[in-house]
Structure 1
C-alpha cells in the first residue's frame, strides 16, 4: 500500500493554538492562521520580523517582560536542543496575543470604551532538526488558558474557605502551612484539620484527594468535614477513619483519597494514630531521634470492596518533641523514589531539632524541602509542639 502524500503546510496551518516557526536567530520564518488571527496582524508583518523587536520601544512594560521570558526560553532550546515548557504568562490588554476585534464588534460602537481583562497563555518551545541532526528551526506554540486560571482561582478560594482558620488550640501551639502547587494550572485536594477533644487532647489530620481542580477541592471539603465530625465522637482515630471510609464510598471522586489521623493526649503523653494509605506522620523526639508513625496503615479510602476494621497504634512522647503531619507535596519529586523524599524529611527534622517552636520548625521545613522553582503538587503541613 502506497504511503499517502502529506501536505505538511496544510498540517502546520491546522495545528491547534497559535504556532510560529523561528530561526535560531529568533527571526520569524512562518506562522499559522491562528497566530495571525490572535495578534490581528497580516502575514507579511510577521515573516522576517525579529522577535526581540516586540516592545523594544517600551522595555519596562508587562509585554516586554513576557517577550524577554520567551526569548530566554527559545535561547535555552537552541542551546540545549531540548523542549522547554514556560511558566504561564500573563498578558495585559495592550500586550501580545490579544484577540483581534472586528470594528463592528468594538464596544465604542455602543457608546462605551472597550475594556479587556488580562489574559493568560501557556507556551511551549520545541527544537526542529534536519536530517543531519542540526538545529534549523524553533517551534513556538501558545495556547490561551485564561479560563483554567480563573477556575484555579475559584478552586483556591474554595479551599481556603473550607480549611480551618489558624487559631490557638488549647494551650498547645500548632503551626499550619498550606502552599498551592507551583504550576498555575494545578490546584489539588490537600487538606488539614484540627479538632479539640475532651480532656487535654487534640485531633490532627491531613489528607489528599486524587485529581485537581474544582472537583478535587469540593471532594476535599466533604471529606475534611466528615472526618472532623467523626473525630469528635469516635473513641480513636481508627474508628474515625472507618466512618470516613464508609462515607467516602458515597462521594464521587473520593475513591483512593488518603488521610492520616492522630489523637494527641497530653495527660497520657501518647499519640494514637491510624492511616488510610497516607504518608506516615513524623515524630521528632526531644532527644533528636526520629520515629515515623507507620504501624497502623490501611489502604486508601474506598479501596476495599468489603468493610473491615481499621488498625490503630499508640506511641509515647516526651516533652519538647514535635509531631509533623504533611502531604506528599512536601517530599515527592519527579523521577525520584518517594522513600528518598521521606528520608530527606527525617534528616531535615533532625537537623532542626533545636527549633524554638512549631512556627520556626514549619518555616525551616518549607525552606529546606520545597524547591525554589516551586512544586507540581499542593503541600499541607501541620507541626505540633508536644
Structure 2
C-alpha cells in the first residue's frame, strides 16, 4: 500500500486517544472524534475557535493554572520545535449543557510540533488523556483513600510545575548573561570602520540555545590588509560563550603576527589543546590583501567562505580545509590556499546556523546562500547582510546561533 492509498484524515479521526491539531495561533484546525467525546463538545463548538475561548480556566478557582501551564508548554514547542510532555494537570471544564457549572477534570497532555521543510512549526499536535476516573477510582465521601490520593497527586503535580518554572527562569537568566558576555566579546560594528564590511549576529531561539559562534575583523601588519574570521564552539550556555571569547581573542592576536592564516590556525590549535571545552571547535580565517586583490585562507573544519565575483560567479573557498581545532593529539601544520578577485567582489563568512536545517542536506543550504548572495550582490554590504538573513533564517528564528560577515572587496 502506498501513501496515496491511505486516508490519513480517516486515520486521524479513528485515533484511540483525544488528539487535536492547533495552528501556531492556538486555533483548533481539527480534532478527532475521541477528542469531541471526551471534551463533551460538538465540532462546530471547537474547530476554528481559539483554544482558550473553548476551554478557559475555571473563574471560580482562584488557584487555577491549567490555561497558563498549557500555554507555556505550547509556546515551548513553538520556540524549540521539540515535543513537550506536561505534568498531570487539573483543568476543569464548563458543562456545555449547564453554563456556569464546572466539572472537575484531570488531564495528562503531550504537545508535539509538525514542521515544514525549513524546520518551522506549522501545526501543533495536542494529545490529552483524561485521567479523572483514575484519580477518583473507588472514590467516596471526602477523606476517603481515593480522595486523599487525588489530593496528593494534585499537590505533586503543582510542585513539579513550580519546579519546572524555576528551572525555566534559571535558564532564562543564564541565557541573558551568556548573550551579554557574547556581546561584550564580539567586536562592535563601529570597529569595522570604513572597511565596507557588515557584521551580524543572531542568537538561537529558546532559553537553552545560547551557543559559541563568533566573528572577528582585524588589521594586519604590512600593506592594506585585514583578517576576517568566524568560528563555532561546540556546546551551549555560559561555558560555550566563555570558550568562544578565549578562542576569538587568541586568533585575533595570532593573526596580527602570523605569516598567513594557516600559521594563525596552527597557533590557535595549540592554544585550544589546553582550553577545556575547545574540543572540536571550528574556525576559518581569511587574509585579504586589497592592493594585490588576493584572499588567502585556511579552515579548521568550518564551512567554506563564499566569494561572489562581480559577474555573479560564486566560488566556495574550500581548497584548504582541515579537521577542527584540537582534533589531532599532536598539532600538525594546516593547509592554506589563495584566490584572486576583482574590485567590487563580495566575500561572505558565516556559521552553520545560517545554512543548516533539520532533515535537509547541507548542500541545499549552501546553494541557497550562494544564490541569495549572487542575486543581491549589487547591494551595499549592510543591505546585503540584511537581505541574506531575511531570506535564509526561518521567520521565527533559527535553533542555532548565526554569525555572518560580509566584506565588499
TM value normalised by structure 2? 0.64
| Contact 1:27–1:51 (CA under 8 A) maintained in structure 2 | no
166, 179, 188: which one aligns with 1:165: 188
Contact residue 168 and residue 174 of structure 1 kept, 8 A? no
1:177 is matched with: 200
Kept after mapping to 2: 8 A contact 1:203/1:262 = yes
- 1:87 aligned to which of 76, 79, 87: 79
Give 2:375's match in structure 1, choosing from 351, 376, 380: 351
1:230-241 to 2 correspondences below 5 Å:
230-241=254-265
- Conserved? CA contact 1:24–1:138, under 8 Å: no
Aligned equivalents of 2:37 and 2:276: distance in 1?
49
| Whole-angstrom CA distance in 1 between matches of 2:328 and 2:408 | 35
Query: Structure 2 vs 1, CA of residues 283 and 301 (structure 1 numbering), >3 Å: closer, same or farther?
Result: same
CA displacement at 1:306 relative to structure 2: 2.2
Summarize the alignment of residues 50-65 of structure 1 with structure 2, pairs less than 5 Å apart. 51-53=55-57
Whether 1:384 aligns to 2:382 is no
* Aligned Cα root-mean-square deviation (Å): 3.3
1:291 aligns with 2:320: no
Report the equivalent of 1:333: 357
Alignment of 1:1-386 (within 5 A): 24=35, 51-53=55-57, 69=71, 73=74, 85-87=77-79, 125=111, 137=129, 143-144=164-165, 145-167=168-190, 169=192, 171-198=194-221, 199-355=223-379, 357-386=380-409
What CA distance in whole angstroms lies between the structure 1 residues aligned with 2:392 and 2:372?
8
- Residue by residue over 1:45-86, the C-alpha shift from the partner in whole angstroms, topping out at 9 and shown as x without a partner, is xxxxx84136799xxxxx999578469x59xxxxxxxxx824
Matches of 1:345 and 1:274 in 2, distance apart? Answer: 20
Displacement of 1:352 after TM fit? Answer: 1.1
SS in 1 for 2:190: coil
Alpha-carbon distance change, 327 to 156 in structure 1, aligned in 2, over 3 angstroms: same
The 1:266–1:126 alpha-carbon spacing in structure 2 relative to 1, beyond 3 Å, is closer
How many residues are aligned here? 289
Check the 8 A contact 2:208/2:236 in 1, yes or no.
Answer: no
TM (normalized to structure 1)? 0.68
Give the helix-richer structure, 1 or 2.
2
Q: Distance in 1 between the 2:110 and 2:267 partners?
A: 46
Structure 2 unaligned segments of length 5 or more: list them. 1-33, 41-53, 81-88, 90-108, 114-126, 132-156
After superposition, the C-alpha distances for 1:242-278 in whole angstroms (9 at most, x for unaligned) are 0000000000000000000001000100100000000
Deviation at 1:326, TM superposition (A): 0.2
Note the residue ranges of structure 1 that are not aligned, 5 or more in a row.
1-22, 30-49, 58-62, 75-83, 89-96, 98-122, 128-134
Offset, 1:124 = 5.3
Write the distance in 1 (CA, Å) between the matches of 2:394 and 2:112. 25
Cα offset, 1:312, TM superposition: 0.5
**In 2, Cα distance between the equivalents of 1:55 and 1:367?**
43
CA distance in 2 between partners of 1:358 and 1:248 (Å): 32
In 2, the alpha carbon distance for the partners of 1:146 and 1:28 equals: 33
Would the aligned equivalents of 2:192 and 2:198 in 1 still touch at CA under 8 Å? Answer: no
Q: Distance in 2 between matches of 1:155 and 1:26?
A: 48
* Deviations 1:85-142, CA, capped at 9 Å, x for gaps: 2438xxxxxxxx9xxxxxxxxxxxxxxxxxxxxxxxxx95269xxxxxxx76279995
Partners of 2:322 and 2:335 within 8 A in 1: yes
Cα distance between partner residues in 2 of 1:55 and 1:204: 59
CA distance in 1, matches of 2:318, 2:60: 59
Distance 2:37 2:234 in 1: 41
Aligned CA distance change for structure 1 residues 24 and 340 (closer, same or farther; 3 Å): same
Partners of 2:185 and 2:208 lie apart in 1 by 20
Cα distance in 2 for partners of 1:180, 1:170 equals 24
State the SS of the aligned residue for 1:242. Answer: helix
C-alpha change, 1:26 and 1:289, in structure 2 (3 Å) is: farther
- Does the residue aligned with 2:349 lie in a helix, a strand or coil? strand
2:263 alignment partner, SS class: helix
State the shift of 1:231 in Å.
0.3
Deviation at 1:315, TM superposition (A): 0.5
Contact map agreement 1:28 1:51 (CA 8 A) in 2? no
